[in-house]
């Protein structure tokens, strides 16, 4: 015993335990990173899996049993006392814990909420009926229940066993119609609205310039009449499509026996998760995953896809990259190659370096005040007097978002490029100069190509930072729901004045501003996963490109 104590004492004295503690810190840091990523990955990816739906009799002590159906979303062990404290009729005797399960019960129009917490111990006779169906709808969230029949314009066409096949067939038809309607509304009617708006602005402009004479007015009227005629034609087409669209309906019964009718126009898809094989489920899983990245959001962003957000993020980042690269490189070249190296350049260098650490919200405030209100306001007064009092560029939009992020990431590009320039050996420059090249030729043909890996790295890091930045964007140009993409078929095709959707802001908005947070949560995890992937890929490619280009110029390095 004494020996052992002695050992313990020397062991502590040797400092080894502290080394181990430090090792523990590393391990914790790594586990935290991996844990975060895996929680996001698991929760994000699990969302698309068609989980089994259970049906059970829910017997709350002291009240009548009722049948409930739903997917188990979460289950946790809760101390009995806490359940009792929350007002549930919990028997105080018994085990220490009870399970509490969060069921997604859907049928919002019947129950009022999609989710319901239940006590696991009170669920009796849990079963998984194969014919139980989940209907994904465009409104009111999911429906859980049994299919009774399929109707066409109120007339019964299929019932019982045959109904399921008929339903699937009709959903396909409705899907097609939905696509046609969306195309018509978004593209064709969108084009007409855009044209009419441009016409209105043109009229106003002529009026302001005092050139709106009879001839011009006649021209404008003729143009307007043409648009109107096109619109009439499209509208009648749309009306008939809409009639077709809402032709069919299905009769359904909820697990607790209520019968209702759902119009097929509101149905996205219907499936019977309990009857699906693993292969079916996998197919379904990837279909949902594809819908997520390629489709538009539904139901206040809590369902459907996030394509516009991906598109907006990418477009904004590309515009930002186009702006930031030349400016960043010029500034770096000036600082390193042309400016007189002295105290002033050192100060500038430190200042630029530090700007990378300035909180991003400060850039947002600057962007809103200077770009949007000062620059945008002046642009509006100079070039768009006809749109007044509605602002064109004097309001947050894509251009200002890109510009703000460009300023935000400028230090990253400058610092990286400068480092690249500094690393080029002097003898190479001197060699080039000795051969008679001018300074600009040396720069353009020798130095810049050699520094390109550094520039590329700076650019990619800038893009990665820009893609994940949200705080400044909340001030200068993102919205929760943009009606159209900023790049579309209407002149001038790229709408720099439009507000955009953004992945990061989508996460914030859906996760924290949504009226139905519980329903939106899995989607937020999935969006977060996507954003993490995009940024990890960007960072990774920065490393790969840097290494690749470094190899390429390695021969010159010596």
Q: Which stretch in 225-233, 268-276, 323-331, 489-497 sits in contact with other proteins by CB under 8 A?
A: 323-331
Helices first, then strands: H and E counts in the chain: 20, 13
Name the nearest CA neighbour of 101 among 86, 84, 120, 114: 120
In the block, tokens 């489920």 appear at 281
Distance separating alpha carbons of residues 268 and 470, to the nearest angstrom: 32
Residues 6+ apart with CB under 8 A from 129: 55, 274
Is 381 a binder of other proteins (CB under 8 A)? Answer: no
Binder to other proteins among 328, 391, 420, 458 (CB under 8 A)? 328
B/e letters for 255-279, b = 16+ CB within 10 Å, e = fewer, are bbeeeeebbbbbbbbbbbbbebeee
Looking at beta carbons only, is 146 or 393 nearer to other proteins?
A: 393
Neighbours of 81 (CB within 10 A): 11
Give min distance, CB of 9 to other proteins, in A. 12
Binder to other proteins among 438, 445, 544, 550 (CB under 8 A)? 438
Give min distance, CB of 71 to other proteins, in A. 19
Is 207 a binder of other proteins (CB under 8 A)? Answer: no
Looking at beta carbons only, is 30 or 187 nearer to other proteins?
A: 30
Binder to other proteins among 350, 390, 533, 556 (CB under 8 A)? 350
DSSP reduced 3-state for 326: helix
Give min distance, CB of 322 to other proteins, in A. 15
Distance separating alpha carbons of residues 144 and 104, to the nearest angstrom: 9
Looking at beta carbons only, is 88 or 110 nearer to other proteins?
A: 88
Distance separating alpha carbons of residues 150 and 166, to the nearest angstrom: 7
Give min distance, CB of 327 to other proteins, in A. 5
Question: Under rule CB under 8 A, which residues in 11-40 are in contact with other proteins?
Answer: 11, 14-34, 36, 39-40
Is 80 a binder of other proteins (CB under 8 A)? Answer: yes
What binding mask, one character per residue, do residues 399-428 give for other proteins by CB under 8 A, x or -? --------x--xx--x--------------
Is 81 a binder of other proteins (CB under 8 A)? Answer: yes
Binder to other proteins among 49, 290, 383, 444 (CB under 8 A)? 444
Question: Under rule CB under 8 A, which residues in 467-486 are in contact with other proteins?
Answer: 467-471, 474-475
Give min distance, CB of 536 to other proteins, in A. 7
Question: Under rule CB under 8 A, which residues in 254-293 are in contact with other proteins?
Answer: none
Name the nearest CA neighbour of 230 among 206, 194, 200: 194
In the block, tokens 């126009």 appear at 265
Looking at beta carbons only, is 369 or 489 nearer to other proteins?
A: 369
Binder to other proteins among 45, 51, 220, 339 (CB under 8 A)? 339
Is 88 a binder of other proteins (CB under 8 A)? Answer: no
Give min distance, CB of 449 to other proteins, in A. 16
- Half-sphere exposure of residue 461: CA atoms within 13 angstroms, side-chain side: 20
Is 369 a binder of other proteins (CB under 8 A)? Answer: yes
DSSP reduced 3-state for 56: strand
Q: Cα–Cα distances in Å, from 266 out to 137, 145, 205?
A: 5, 16, 44
# chain residues binding other proteins, by CB under 8 A? 104
Give min distance, CB of 505 to other proteins, in A. 8
Tokens of 122: 């009170």
Q: Which stretch in 56-64, 271-279, 284-292, 463-471 sits in contact with other proteins by CB under 8 A?
A: 463-471
Tokens of 445: 């043909």
Tokens of 173: 């038809």
Binder to other proteins among 111, 284, 508, 553 (CB under 8 A)? 508
Looking at beta carbons only, is 239 or 330 nearer to other proteins?
A: 330
In the block, tokens 């930072």 appear at 465
- Half-sphere exposure of residue 552: CA atoms within 13 angstroms, side-chain side: 12
Binder to other proteins among 199, 365, 481, 496 (CB under 8 A)? 365
Q: Cα–Cα distances in Å, from 16 out to 23, 28, 29, 111, 527?
A: 11, 18, 20, 61, 44
Question: Under rule CB under 8 A, which residues in 40-59 are in contact with other proteins?
Answer: 40, 43
Q: Cα–Cα distances in Å, from 512 out to 291, 405, 515, 519, 524?
A: 23, 24, 9, 12, 10
Question: Under rule CB under 8 A, which residues in 509-548 are in contact with other proteins?
Answer: 511-512, 517, 521, 524, 528, 531-532, 535-536, 539
What binding mask, one character per residue, do residues 184-203 give for other proteins by CB under 8 A, x or -? --------------------
Tokens of 126: 């849990």
Neighbours of 224 (CB within 10 A): 15
Binder to other proteins among 105, 335, 399, 405 (CB under 8 A)? 335
Binder to other proteins among 293, 358, 388, 556 (CB under 8 A)? 358
Strands (DSSP E) contained in 80-112 are 97-104
Q: Which stretch in 206-214, 236-244, 278-286, 433-441 sits in contact with other proteins by CB under 8 A?
A: 433-441
Helix intervals (H) in 246-295: 278-294
Give min distance, CB of 541 to other proteins, in A. 12
Is 309 a binder of other proteins (CB under 8 A)? Answer: no
Chain centroid to CA 405: how far? 18
């Amino acid at each position: 015993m004494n020996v052992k104590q002695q050992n313990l004492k020397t062991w502590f004295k040797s400092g080894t335990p502290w080394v181990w503690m430090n090792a523990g810190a590393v391990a914790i840091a790594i586990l935290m990173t991996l844990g975060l990523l895996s929680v996001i990955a698991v929760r994000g990816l699990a969302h698309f899996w068609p989980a089994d739906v259970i049906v059970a009799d829910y017997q709350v002590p002291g009240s009548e049993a009722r049948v409930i159906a739903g997917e188990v979303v979460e289950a946790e062990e809760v101390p009995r006392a806490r359940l009792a404290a929350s007002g549930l009729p919990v028997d105080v005797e018994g085990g220490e814990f009870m399970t509490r399960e969060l069921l997604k019960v859907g049928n919002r129009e019947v129950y009022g909420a999609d989710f319901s917490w239940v006590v696991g111990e009170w669920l009796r006779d849990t079963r998984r009926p194969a014919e139980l169906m989940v209907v994904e709808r465009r409104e009111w969230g999911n429906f859980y229940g049994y299919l009774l029949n399929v109707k066409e314009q109120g007339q019964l066409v299929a019932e019982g066993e045959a109904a399921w096949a008929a339903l699937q067939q009709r959903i396909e038809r409705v899907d097609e119609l939905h696509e046609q309607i969306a195309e018509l509304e978004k593209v064709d009617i969108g084009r007409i609205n855009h044209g009419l708006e441009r016409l209105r602005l043109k009229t106003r402009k002529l009026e302001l310039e005092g050139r709106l004479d009879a001839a011009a007015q006649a021209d404008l009227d003729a143009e307007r009449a043409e648009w109107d005629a096109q619109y009439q034609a499209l509208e009648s087409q749309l009306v008939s499509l809409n009639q077709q669209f809402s032709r069919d309906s299905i009769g359904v019964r909820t697990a607790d026996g209520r019968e209702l009718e759902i119009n097929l126009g509101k149905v996205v898809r219907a499936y019977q998760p309990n009857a699906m094989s693993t292969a079916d489920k996998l197919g379904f899983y990837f279909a949902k995953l594809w819908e997520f990245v390629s489709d538009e959001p539904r139901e206040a962003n809590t369902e459907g896809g996030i394509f516009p957000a991906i598109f907006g993020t990418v477009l904004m980042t590309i515009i930002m990259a186009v702006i930031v690269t030349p400016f960043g490189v010029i500034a770096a070249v000036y600082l390193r190659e042309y400016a007189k190296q002295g105290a002033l350049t050192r100060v500038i260098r430190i200042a630029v370096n530090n700007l990378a650490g300035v909180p991003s919200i400060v850039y947002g405030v600057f962007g809103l005040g200077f770009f949007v209100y000062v620059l945008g306001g002046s642009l509006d007064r100079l070039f768009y007097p006809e749109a007044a009092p509605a602002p064109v560029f004097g309001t947050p939009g894509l251009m200002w978002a890109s510009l703000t992020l460009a300023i935000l990431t400028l230090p990253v590009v400058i610092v990286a490029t400068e480092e690249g320039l500094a690393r080029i050996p002097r003898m190479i420059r001197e060699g080039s100069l000795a051969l008679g090249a001018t300074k600009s030729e040396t720069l353009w043909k020798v130095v810049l190509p050699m520094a390109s890996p550094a520039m590329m790295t700076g650019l990619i890091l800038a893009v990665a930072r820009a893609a994940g930045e949200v705080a400044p964007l909340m001030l200068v140009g993102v919205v929760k729901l943009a009606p159209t993409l900023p790049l579309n078929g209407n002149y001038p095709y790229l709408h720099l004045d439009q507000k955009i959707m953004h992945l990061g802001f989508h996460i914030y908005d859906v996760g924290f501003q949504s009226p139905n947070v519980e329903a939106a949560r899995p989607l937020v995890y999935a969006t977060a996963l996507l954003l993490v992937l995009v940024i990890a890929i960007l960072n990774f490619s920065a490393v790969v490109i840097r290494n690749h280009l470094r190899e390429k110029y390695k021969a010159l390095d010596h």
